Amino acid sequence: MILYDANAPGPNPATVRLFVHERGGLRFDVVTIDLVGLENRKRRYLTEVNARGEVPALRLDDGSVLTEITAICGYFDEIAEGGRKLFGTTPQERAVIHMWTRRAYLEVVLPFVNHWRGSEAAENAYRGHRILQPEAQRSNRLLAERGLNQFDDDLEGRTFIAGDDISMADILLYTFMATQIEGEGTPWLDVPQRPHVGAWYARMGERESSRMMLASLPARVRT
């Protein structure tokens, strides 16, 4: 199995890295794609790996390629030997984690990614390879803020988003917030008026895996 990782702390590859560090029981090889140099938008990557020009991607042993971070992490969760499950162990746990992961993505992550994609930094990074919506920046910020307010209520009295144990929902939301806060310093993402989100964010940040996820993976991973 080969994971196509990136040489930049982009939130999507970083989500898979954090998942891998938390999950354990995984063995695969890694090819690091030069995202900064737009290797992912060159014909070779588009034809051989991912026609959408995005990273990460996972080449399975039968040669087929899986993309989308929740699909890749879900597959890893199923095939890992040992370690700790991050998508739940019973039908109910799996459904609850799926519900929170989707809420985190739709209510917070997608609007603030779209907010960033409206910036000049995004125009410079993509160099015409994505349709950006700078005119929607303000409404995307408001949507993300509303989502964070909701999560602040949801997290009151909880250690992690879906309950007592860390899950895919925490990994997804934390990675996107951390890479954005580290990279761009988006002040409205990290305000003291959201104490429960703040306490959860600090708790996630103390984990060793959170420090490791900012760096690309080595050529061989054995967790």
149 to 178, contacts with ligand GSH by CB under 6 A?
none
Contact pick of 5, 11, 26, 108 for ligand GSH (by CB under 6 A): 11
From 9-17, 19-27, 73-81, 167-175, give the range in contact with ligand GSH by CB under 6 A: 9-17
Eight-state DSSP code of residue 134: G
Q: How far is CA 64 from CA 67, 120, 125, 144, in A?
A: 10, 36, 29, 35
Spatial separation of the C-alpha atoms in residues 202 and 106, rounded to whole Å: 22
| Residue 85 binds ligand GSH, judged by CB under 6 A | no
Contact pick of 25, 34, 53, 133 for ligand GSH (by CB under 6 A): 53
| Residue 10 binds ligand GSH, judged by CB under 6 A | yes
Beta strand spans in the chain (E): 2-6, 27-33, 57-59, 65-67, 220-222
| Residue 40 binds ligand GSH, judged by CB under 6 A | yes
CB 197 within 8 A of CB 152: yes
Strands 57-59 vs 2-6: parallel, antiparallel or unpaired: antiparallel
State residue 19 phi and psi, 5-degree precision. -60, -50
Shortest Cβ 105–ligand GSH spacing (Å): 9
Contact pick of 55, 122, 166, 169 for ligand GSH (by CB under 6 A): 55
Roughly how many angstroms between the first and final C-alpha of the chain, as a whole number? 14
Contact pick of 65, 75, 126, 165 for ligand GSH (by CB under 6 A): 126
62 to 81, contacts with ligand GSH by CB under 6 A?
67-69
What are the residues binding ligand GSH (CB under 6 A)? 10-13, 35, 40-41, 53-55, 67-69, 126, 129-130
